[in-house]
Amino acid sequence: MLGGINNSLFFEAFLGFLVIPVFILFLRWAFPSTKNQAEATRRKEIKRSLREVKRK
């Protein structure tokens, strides 16, 4: 115990602050935004083709 604090607890908390931004970046990469125009047009085409299939 240096300076009267629990050093291992301090380092765990500090590493938590470093891990969270990496985790956020990973989640943003893994789940793309729904605002992507190319994805929206692709989804519309899929829905349109499904409607045509259901009509037949």
Residue 8, pLDDT > 80, answer: yes
pLDDT in tens, 11-46: 888 899 999 999 999 998 888 776 778 878 888 999
Tokens of 34: 């729904």
Tokens of 39: 């994805």
Task: Provide the pLDDT for residue 3.
Answer: 63
Element (H, E) at 49: helix 37-55
**Distance in Å from the first CA to the final CA of the chain:** 75
Task: Provide the pLDDT for residue 20.
Answer: 94
**Every domain of the chain and the residues it spans:** 7-55
